[in-house]
């Protein structure tokens, strides 16, 4: 089918369709709604705590009781789900990240508190060891090498603990080989057949994660870098191989991370697999927009909404973002 527009100027004037608001709305090819958001929230132990994150103006570390309030706000705004991430003090971290499998850790306590008061909200948990290790890596470290299979064994236990606490989605972000299949088997064996897996399938070794590492207490902790397990930003075909493997192992949905620098990956993944595809607008993307807006260099609200719309235009089914509540309020305002 020939998709080339028929006719030419002056008979064809594309500005006719852009001339009025009602027409622009009718012609819009991409729609953004509150249903598209997963609100990224950082937790910290305490009570009544809303601790500002310096590198992410407008984002706070929330104690579990404050996270419950955020969940109520999300429900009222029409946001379907929250993604929770834990801050861990340096002195509470260990080489093996043992607190990741503690059924009474911060993540699990927050999940139980939220589900007790807002049972209808979806909850997503990262499956990875980096918030809990004293070296800042997502897996076990031995003589400078990240151990794949030994790490996967721990990740399975972590996912089961999270499912037991009430998380609806476990999201392995570690990029270990074979972890999705192992987690699916572990969840099913433990009776959590209905818990979803959203695989961080195409997660790149990106410079855009810096503010997040401050947010969860990993800044200054990381030894070396993560390039032996996270993807090379130069690669695209490899992303399709990673996504294909994760779907074959039982992932219910897949994620591309970061977001804006990787819109081409989102498009390729969606077109190749037609699977539920999510994108993470990471901390560095958030911080750039917020900082530029605070300096008066751009219109922060418009830049926020434009960036979120771009993810949908690229093919994403949903967006994990720190902007979720703010963007939802803009959408409700109309």
Residues in CB range of 322: below 8 A, 6 or more apart:
39, 40, 56, 58, 59, 281, 283, 286
For residue 184, how far is the Cα from the chain centroid? 20
Rg of the chain over Cα atoms, rounded to whole angstroms, equals 21
Is residue 115 flagged as an active site residue? no
Is residue 257 flagged as an active site residue? yes
Write out the two tokens for 213. 């590492």
Query: For 128-131, which contacts have Cβ atoms below 8 Å and span 24 or more sequence positions?
Result: 128/155, 128/172, 128/173, 128/174, 129/97, 129/100, 129/154, 129/155, 129/158, 129/174, 130/97, 130/174, 130/216, 130/218, 131/85, 131/86, 131/87, 131/88, 131/97, 131/100, 131/216, 131/217, 131/218
Confirm if 231 and 238 have CB atoms less than 8 A apart. Answer: yes
Burial (CB count within 10 angstroms: exposed 0-12, middle 13-18, buried 19+), residue 276: middle
Hey, is 13 helix, strand or coil?
coil
Which one of 226, 257, 270, 312 is the catalytic residue?
257
What is the distance between the alpha carbons of residues 127 and 182, in angstroms, rounded to a whole number? 12
Confirm if 131 and 85 have CB atoms less than 8 A apart. Answer: yes
Length of the chain: 334
What is the distance between the alpha carbons of residues 204 and 269, in angstroms, rounded to a whole number? 14
Beta strand 122-127 with 318-321 is: unpaired
| 65, 86, 250, 292, 304 from 127: Cα distances, Å | 23, 11, 15, 32, 28
Which one of 203, 226, 270, 312 is the catalytic residue?
203
Q: Which residues are catalytic?
A: 203, 257
């Amino acid at each position: 089918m020939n998709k080339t527009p028929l006719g030419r100027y002056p008979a064809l004037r594309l500005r006719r369709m852009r001339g009025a608001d009602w027409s622009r709305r009718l012609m819009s090819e991409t729609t953004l709604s509150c249903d598209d958001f997963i609100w990224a929230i950082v937790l910290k132990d305490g009570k009544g705590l809303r601790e500002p994150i310096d590198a992410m103006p407008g984002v706070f570390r929330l104690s579990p009781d404050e996270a419950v309030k955020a969940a109520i706000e999300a429900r009222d705004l029409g946001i379907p789900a929250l993604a929770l991430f834990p801050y861990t003090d340096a002195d509470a971290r260990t080489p093996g990240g043992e607190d990741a499998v503690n059924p009474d850790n911060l993540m699990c306590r927050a999940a139980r508190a939220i589900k007790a008061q807002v049972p209808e909200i979806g909850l997503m948990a990262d499956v990875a060891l980096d918030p809990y290790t004293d070296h800042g890596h997502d897996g076990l470290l031995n003589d400078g090498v990240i151990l794949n299979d030994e790490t996967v064994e721990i990740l399975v236990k972590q996912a089961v603990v999270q499912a037991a606490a009430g998380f609806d989605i476990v999201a392995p972000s570690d990029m270990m080989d074979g972890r999705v299949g192992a987690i699916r088997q572990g969840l099913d064996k433990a009776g959590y057949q209905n818990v979803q897996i959203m695989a961080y399938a195409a997660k790149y070794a990106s410079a855009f994660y810096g503010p997040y590492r401050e947010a969860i207490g990993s800044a200054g902790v990381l030894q070396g870098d993560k390039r032996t397990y996270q993807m090379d930003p130069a690669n695209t075909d490899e992303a399709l191989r990673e996504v294909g493997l994760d779907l074959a192992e039982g992932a219910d949905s897949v994620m591309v991370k970061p977001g804006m620098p990787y819109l081409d990956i989102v498009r390729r993944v969606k077109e190749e697999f037609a699977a539920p595809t999510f994108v993470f607008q990471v901390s560095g993307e958030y911080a750039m927009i917020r900082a530029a807006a605070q300096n008066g260099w751009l219109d922060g609200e418009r830049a926020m909404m434009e960036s979120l719309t771009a993810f949908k235009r690229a093919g994403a089914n949903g967006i994990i973002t720190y902007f979720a509540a703010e963007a939802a309020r803009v959408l409700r305002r109309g």
